[in-house]
Structure 1
Amino acid sequence: MGWFEAYVIATTTPKPLAAASVAVEAAAGCVLAAPVEAVRPVPAFDTAAMDGYAVAGPGPWTVTGQLLAGVADTGPLAAGTAVEIATGAVVPEGTGAVLPYEDSVLGDGIVSGRLGARAHIRRAGDDVRPGDVLVPAGRTVNATIVAAAVQAGVERLSAHRRPTVTLLVTGDEVIDSGVPGPGQVRDSFTGLVTAVSVRAGAEPVVRRHVRDVAALLEAELADARTDVVVVSGSSSAGAADHLHGVLGRLGATWHVRGVACRPGHPQALAELPDGRWVVSLPGNPYAGLVAALTLLEPLLTALGGRPPVALPEVAVGGRAKLMPGGVRIVPVHRDPGWRIAAETSSAGLHAAAGADALAVLPETWTDGDPAPILAVP
């Protein structure tokens, strides 16, 4: 299967997870499944827009008291009187305007001044009325949306659930910490998969290490109760590569089974009968990173209800060993201009670590042609 076809399948095949009622303060990062509508007006009451004096009738005015923000029961204001008032305080009934300090003169309890064209009063509902749409469906909830919703009296939002992810790191040679011994390697997948998943809107990843035993891998796949199970390694046809056989026994449906790209050819995307998704990442770290950006990130983006991301295209310069009938995915630097970094194997991450992005080069690419780029996590 071609790389672009695989990317589109991962982007468009999954349906967003069901909507749920979410407490507004806990909704950051979720995608709205329905518009957010105001419950109460903003401002919720007539409020002073300036520090000064709330006045009633023509002046000069006798100052009868002081009002600060937070005082609810003010009582009416009689003609010819005024109260000193702070910005944000409730304006008393009968107030015609707020006379700012800078436009007033105070002496012997009497304030005078010339009222301008503006009353300096924010009336209840001037900004938002109950039922007004604050934010349309489809937006990712951020801190500003949360704050606006709280201000308008919203306590719960309808949002798509954030996808959950289990990462199964396979391999007898993989260790979690310490200095690798002969034949051993440190786990370099957990950080990459976590970063890609969180960037796509998923919950933090649950990680487990699985030895190269088919029955163990099958048990872990069966027990993982997350929306997505990512398997690093066990993706090819070697003696220790059990994933394809396990998925066959579990009745999985294959959507992507191998991609015409270098690196990352053995990557795959499957769906279990109960609706859980399985993303297979090649065991070589750079190839695994390519697969995570090709299949995992768009999959999680779709499950979370986020709109698909259009890959930017830039003119890429340099030289690369292209793949006949497929694409070559190479690290690139931004300055000066987008240039291909040093050649790298499917295992080494050093070139990607120093790059600004990965460029997807079709077999027809030549020096200076535009190419899609993938943001490195």
Structure 2
Amino acid sequence: MTERPSWRHARAIAAAAGASAVLPPELIALDRAVGRRIAADLVTPIDLPHFASAAMDGWLVVGDGPWELVTIELPAPGQARAIVTGAHVPAPTDPGVQLAVLRSESGVVEAGVLRSTVADEPRPGHHIRLPATEAERGELLIAAGTRLNPAHVALAAATGTDALAVQAAPTVALVFTGDEVIESGLPTAGRVRDSFGVQFPALIGMLGGRVVGASRVPDHHDETVAALRDARADVIVTTGGTGGSSADHVRAALLALGARLLVDGVAMRPGGPTRIAELPDGRLVVALPGNPLAAMVAAITLVEPLIAGLAGREPIPPRVMRGPAVEGRAGSTVLAPYSEVDGRAVVATWRGAAMLRGLAGATGILVVPPEGVREGEGAESLPVPWLVAPHSAVEN
């Protein structure tokens, strides 16, 4: 077996594998667009607002008061009509005539005549929203690559847009392996509770993918081959079966299907047995270890750049965190869950390959090089996706 690539190299391979098969954007209705990344600039085809309107309930008044109440659309000078917030304010035929809106609470009507009860109201143009005060036609409103929030979607609707082109959400099929796994109740000796099926669909969504299927297979070669062969998705993510024992069949199953191993293990702890492969038909496979922490840190740090590449975006960039000294491991990158306290990393106590307690309370994953990190020295880190969820809210 060839030397395992470094974590950094494996991450670059994952990103490149996705980018080599980038998926086209999807056109989706506005009510499904929140949380997705817009694929092209949104330029408004109209002024915002596109017509003059009342900003208050009250009366549209023309010229100086008092004003005679009328019901016509455009009163003459010295006249007024009732108006509600958002109603159209017509342009005066004489540009020298001033229009305004007198608020309901600032006027009184007696014998069909409206008078202002406030000395300085209304001023010319008062409480009238003019066209193009928010944006002019042709102005950029949302830049390509922006993750859409509810206000973005509402803004798009205001421009008359019904659907938006968004970056693809790669489809993901999950294949869980393991004879020892039970799905409910208390595990007996030799059995373990399933820790993947209950959370991996949500985790994949946070990483930018969309889970379209999940299956469970026993530790058996033929059934593992069948599960990988039959999974219909852009990406197949497996858990377990990546070791070298007689119960581990994922690597052999990939080779039996003619897969090309892009990453055949990674020089990292935990998660070293992680593999990335490409099937002959172009589907990508990320085979994660069976230990819970190992699988999750591998997914967060290696599945995310692969999905990002498929979607046509850059992976989440690491940032530098400072903290206490952390011992390295010769020849391997150590991935350590940590909590951020006063701008410094506090590495979790519980970070064994099978432990989830440290990750559950973590704000990020510290990337510790083989030589370790000295006290106060900076180290790269990646956020846990449930705190930032940069690509989540993808419809499932």
TM-score by length of 2: 0.85
Mark the runs of 5 or more structure 2 residues left unpaired by the alignment.
387-396
Q: 1:351 to 1:128 in 2, by over 3 A?
A: closer
* Structure 2: distance between partners of 1:361 and 1:160: 32
C-alpha contact 1:268 1:281 (8 A) present in aligned 2 = yes
Residues 153-232 of structure 1 aligned to structure 2 (within 5 Å): 153-204=160-211, 206-232=213-239
Alignment-mate amino acid for residue 2 of structure 1: S
* Structure 2: distance between partners of 1:177 and 1:375: 30
Residues 111-122 of structure 1 aligned to structure 2 (within 5 Å): 111-113=114-116, 115-122=122-129
RMSD: 2.3
Corresponding position of 1:100:
102
Aligned match for 1:367, one of 372, 375, 393: 375
Corresponding position of 1:345:
352
Corresponding position of 2:66:
60
* Structure 2: distance between partners of 1:296 and 1:230: 8
* Structure 1: distance between partners of 2:341 and 2:80: 64
User: Aligned to 1:144, what secondary structure does the other structure show?
Assistant: helix
C-alpha contact 1:77 1:92 (8 A) present in aligned 2 = no
Mark the runs of 5 or more structure 1 residues left unpaired by the alignment.
66-73
Alpha-carbon shift at residue 82 of structure 1 (Å): 0.5
Alpha-carbon shift at residue 6 of structure 1 (Å): 1.4
User: Aligned to 2:18, what secondary structure does the other structure show?
Assistant: coil
* Structure 1: distance between partners of 2:56 and 2:32: 34
C-alpha contact 1:55 1:98 (8 A) present in aligned 2 = yes
C-alpha contact 2:350 2:356 (8 A) present in aligned 1 = no
Given the alignment of the two structures, is residue 264 of structure 1 paired with residue 266 of structure 2, yes or no? no
User: Aligned to 2:68, what secondary structure does the other structure show?
Assistant: strand
User: Aligned to 1:352, what secondary structure does the other structure show?
Assistant: helix
Any runs of at least 4 consecutive aligned residues in structure 1 with deviations exceeding 6 A, and if so which?
none
Q: 1:343 to 1:41 in 2, by over 3 A?
A: closer
Corresponding position of 1:4:
8
Residues 12-23 of structure 1 aligned to structure 2 (within 5 Å): 12-15=16-19, 16-23=22-29
Alpha-carbon shift at residue 198 of structure 1 (Å): 1.4
Identity value in percent: 37
TM-score by length of 1: 0.89
Q: 1:34 to 1:344 in 2, by over 3 A?
A: closer
Alignment-mate amino acid for residue 383 of structure 2: A
Residues 18-33 of structure 1 aligned to structure 2 (within 5 Å): 18-33=24-39
Alignment-mate amino acid for residue 102 of structure 2: P
* Structure 1: distance between partners of 2:175 and 2:143: 37
* The 10-residue stretch of structure 1 (92-101 or 152-161) with the greater mean CA deviation from structure 2: 92-101
* Structure 1: distance between partners of 2:30 and 2:339: 40
* The 10-residue stretch of structure 1 (234-243 or 145-154) with the greater mean CA deviation from structure 2: 234-243
Q: 1:24 to 1:246 in 2, by over 3 A?
A: same
Given the alignment of the two structures, is residue 354 of structure 1 paired with residue 331 of structure 2, yes or no? no
Count of residue pairs the alignment pairs up: 368
Alpha-carbon shift at residue 289 of structure 1 (Å): 1.4
Corresponding position of 2:290:
283
Alignment-mate amino acid for residue 44 of structure 2: A
Alignment-mate amino acid for residue 13 of structure 2: I
Alignment-mate amino acid for residue 10 of structure 1: A
Corresponding position of 1:323:
329
* Structure 2: distance between partners of 1:2 and 1:250: 26
